[in-house]
Amino acid sequence: MSQELFLTPTKRPPASGQHERVEGSTLGRSPDGPKLRPGSFEAHRGRTNVLDSATNASMTGGTILRSVLVQGRLAFAMRRAAAARGRELGLQIMTPPLLAARLAGGLLHPASRESIEIGIRAALDQPDLLEDLAPIRDLPGVTRAVLRTLRNVWRAGFDLRSEPYAEQPRVKDLARIEDVVRFHLRPGECLLPELCDLARAAVQLAPRLIGPLRIEGPHAIDPLWRPLINDLRAAIEIEWDAPASCDTTWFRSTPRHAVAQNGNRRSVSCADPYHEALEAMRWARELLSSGRARASDIAIATTAPIAWDDYMLAHAASSGLPICFVHGRPALSTRDGQRCAALADALQGGLSQARVRRLLSLLANQGTTLDGLPEGGLPVPSEASLSTAADWERALQPYPETASIVLPVLKLIETGTQAAEEVGKLLLRGRSRRIWDETLRAAPASALMFSLEAVRVADDRDPAEAIAWCSADQLAAAPRRFAWLVGLTTSGWPRRSGLDPILPGYIIPCGLVDPDPIEDVDRRCLDNVLASAEEIVLSHGRLTSEGKRAGPSVLMPTVADVDILHRDRAASHALTEADRLLARPLDRTSDRIVSSAMAASHNRSLRALTPHDGLVANEHPLLSALLLKPQSPTSLSRLLRDPLAYVWYYGLGWRDLVHKERGLTLPADDLGRLVHELLRRTVDHLELEPGFTVAAPHEIEEALAIASTHVIKSWPLTTNVPPPVLWTNTVRQAAEMSLAGLTFETFTEAGTRSWTELPFGGEVRDGDTAVPPPWDPALPVVLPGSDIRIRGNIDRLDLRDLAAAVRVTDYKTGKRPKAADQVNVDRGAELQRVLYSLACRQLLPNTTPLVARLIYLRPPVVASPLKNPDHFIDLVSAWVKLARSVLQSGVVYPGIATMPERFGRIAQPAEPDYLERKSNAIREAAGRELAAYWGTK
């Protein structure tokens, strides 16, 4: 009786004969019949009724309780609150199943959903039990579908073994499932039909157990309970306060129908469901702030509220209004549900560092083995993918304490959804565990992510103290003074009943197993809400959530004027901070963030440069200090092509958000880094013996294979790489590009040494070099005529004996331009060859012959040498000095061209013509001399 409210009963004279019946009964034995089977419902009922009556008599001195019958969670909660506030002593608040349980026996109660689902799942798992349902028994959602069908059958009072339908294969399967469910019930649990039969057999005890019964508000009583209520009329007094629209023809008395109110009605047309929810919440806040209503007087309802929950959750969180989800909150909107989602994601999606870190953060301090993890998180690189338990084991090898806790869990998760039940027992506690178990009962473990979306958890907020967000049938059974009905579209209200997927009408007529068709429910609920509300608003969306056109429902009453609301309108009453700022211009201008955003939006449309485009103070200390640091080819390229992005990245320290989820392909920059590492390891390996330039093709292939094996094993421990099969294929493709770059030319120069990833200007190379470098990497490299230092790593340097000649190579893994031989600096995008040449000129001053080239590794491999390196060294030096002077003068202009790969592109206006509109102002601010360099090929 967890849902009943028992208060101290009022004094009444004892009913005649009651004490004699209690004293004369024999436990476990019928007065005139044979001994009852131990554990049977009959024996249980006889024992518990006697004990219940005796206890009631001893506690109350022979008094009789009063009872109220309500319908739905909202009505139950509201009537309970009203009884507590009104100090209504001696009152029982019940629903029809609880009324039957009270009569059947104090220890009997309706079977829980959990027990029924366990029984259904057990029946579906028996392949030889079912005949017609066997092909679909493993599909997701079958458990819920069977549960829904059985509940309809029970509510309708239909016997699956009745003629002439008992021989239908589908009906036979349902009857077998019902038997298995009955076998799996816990002690004291009864299916609804059996509970009703036991209650009808104990109607004579109603004066003692029920007392006078008042039916308050139910607009529909299932056919299963109607005979019980009519039988009770012979034993107790029953009054029914029925809503205005309700079927009472079966009731063998005269109910009192509520008088329909002529409340204030208003029709509203909104943009879409999100806008409907927003307007309803604005309306509710206005009622509260004006003092016209309390939260318990307001309700927002629709036929199927689950589809609207995301909107209501968002508006409730942003507004802070007290709103109760009567039908339950989505489990995934709670932290307990997110724990289950993180675990399901790891089981179905496999191990990755992002999934594991998320799971461990959500499972912290839950009383599991993971609570023993040392503080500070996982001691592994955050960029590593770690997609298998073996990778985790190698990464955690230096940390045995952490490995002893994490590895058993990861190995279990790696087995997949077949370990879902075991993992849930190991890692989940409390409500998280209950959500997990309910999900596994509803569908196979392979459908965990889909099943979790349908799970609801009870709202912690009491509906008697909050705005009710509920279904229309809940509101019709517990009317409120102010109601807003959303979703009154042609397809949303009324809904179409359709076919039961398990027991369609061509097997058994729908009228026998569908106690209350959903279309009739929607019509009746709308009529009752309209008849009971003091003020009601009916709204429909002009578009669906998918953007399709929608029309108003045929059930909407005719109202002279329909308010057409636009989504971007200024609300008459603000719901959120955004609403307030939109409705009050003075508040917008006084808010620094909003006023700055508005100024930025205005300046974006101007053709002149403004501070929002990058203009700063002259000789700004941050800008002056930027170029005092050593520069890399990448940083100088940004300085020449996009000074604003250069300041963002190197001056302000902005970085792009790194997406930690494992992709199916390697990003372009990581692919380039992979090819460079394969080239470096191959050349370094060959330089030891016999030397790269004299190595045979098969020796190069062997060295490249060794490098590939190392990369396949090591990169997942430090880098976010694709899944194992795709990762191996990616390395194979990178190795093919590397082999093409190493073997496309034949070396004829004797005594040539090669270095890869050779540092200069103070750059430090990770790992030891195969041979000593040809210069001191710490020596500075300075742009001619300036104090700007540069540093970097040369992809490959070939040096002949006695420094007779030098060749620098920059490898490119991207797409080859159409005229590769005509590319020199490519408007500042290709500076590597120029700066590498400058490093060789200053660090190898006695080496005159110099070749600087680009090698495009995508087949066919093409080498593009730089014509006249010394000329372009002088050109780039002059360009950088001029760009530096403009930057220090406070002109930090945006990029000279639209670059899809540019850093910080989201921070710039998204419109494509932004740079075109500002181009004249940029050229004027930068000066003609600097603008002349922007077209340099």
Evaluate if residue 31 carries a pLDDT over 60: no
3-state DSSP assignment of residue 537: strand
- What are the residue boundaries of the structural domains of the chain, listed by start? 18-257, 264-328+461-564, 332-457, 668-782+789-821+844-861
Identify the pLDDT of residue 909.
61
Phi, psi angles (nearest 5°) of residue 38? -60, 135
Does the structure show a pLDDT above 70 at 506? yes
Over 60: is that where the pLDDT of 469 sits? yes
Burial 207-221 (b: 16+ CB within 10 A, else e): bbbbbebbbbbbbbb
**SS3 (DSSP) at 484:** strand
C-alpha neighbours within 13 Å on the C-beta side of residue 344 = 24
Q: What are phi and psi of 564, to 5 degrees?
A: -95, 110
The reported pLDDT for the residue numbered 365 is: 86
Pairing of strands 456-457, 329-330: antiparallel
- 636 and 626 Cβ atoms separated by less than 8 Å: no
> To the nearest whole percent, how much of the chain has pLDDT over 90?
41
Cα–Cα–Cα angle for 267, 269, 271, rounded to 5 degrees: 160
Mean pLDDT confidence for 793-815: 87
Where residue 738 falls (left for φ over 0; alpha for ψ -120 to 50; beta otherwise) is alpha
Residues 6 or more apart whose CB falls under 8 angstroms from that of 60 comprise: 8, 9
Token pair 């100090």 is found at 87
Q: What is the three-class DSSP state of 661?
A: coil
Residue 488 and residue 556 in contact, taking contact as beta carbons nearer than 8 Å: yes
Q: Are 139 and 499 in contact (CB under 8 A)?
A: no
pLDDT for the residue numbered 36: 33
Is the model's pLDDT at 81 over the cut of 70? yes
Question: Mean pLDDT, to the nearest integer, of 697-707?
Answer: 92
- pLDDT computed for residue 817 by the predictor: 85
pTM of the model: 0.78
Q: What is the pLDDT of residue 303?
A: 92
Specify the CATH number for 264-328+461-564; select among 3.40.640.10, 3.40.50.300, 3.50.50.60, 3.10.20.740.
3.40.50.300
Residues facing residue 756 across a β-bridge: 796
Tens of pLDDT, residue by residue over 195-219, are 999 999 999 999 989 999 999 989 9
**Mean pLDDT value across residues 654-668:** 74
Lowest mean pLDDT among 195-199, 450-454, 727-731: 450-454
The answer to whether the beta carbons of residues 182 and 119 sit under 8 Å apart is yes
pLDDT tens figures, 244-262: 888 888 998 888 887 777 7
Question: Is residue 567's pLDDT more than 60?
Answer: yes
For all residues of the chain together, what is the average pLDDT? 84
Most confident of 521-535, 712-726, 736-750, 919-933: 521-535
| pLDDT category of residue 20 using cuts at 50, 70 and 90 | very low
pLDDT at 662 > cutoff 70? no
How many Å apart are CA 465 and CA 111, to the nearest integer? 30
Q: Please tell me which residue, 429 or 48, carries the higher pLDDT value.
A: 429
Task: For residue 935, give the DSSP letter.
Answer: G
Count CB atoms within 10 A of the CB of residue 604.
16
What tokens were used for 704?
Answer: 């490249």
Whole-number Å distance between alpha carbons of 578 and 576: 5
Asked whether 788 and 880 are in contact (CB, 8 A), the reply is yes
Residue 862 CB neighbour total at 10 angstroms: 17
Q: Which residues contact 557 (CB under 8 A, 6 or more apart)?
A: 265, 267, 530, 538
Secondary structure letter of residue 647 according to DSSP: I
Please list the helix, strand and coil fractions of the chain in percent, rounded to the nearest 5, in that order: 50, 10, 40
pLDDT bin (cut points 50, 70, 90) of residue 41 is very low
Beta 91-94 vs 109-110: how paired, if at all? Answer: unpaired
Q: Please, what is the Cα angle at 572 between 570 and 577, to 5 degrees?
A: 65
Tokens of 461: 């907020």
User: Of 86-95, 306-315, 538-547, 650-659, which range is least confident?
Assistant: 650-659
* Distance from the Cα of residue 179 to its chain's centroid: 39
Q: What is the mean pLDDT of residues 136-146?
A: 86
Check: CB of residue 414 under 8 Å from CB of residue 319: no
Q: What phi and psi, each to the nearest 5 degrees, are found at residue 781?
A: -125, 120
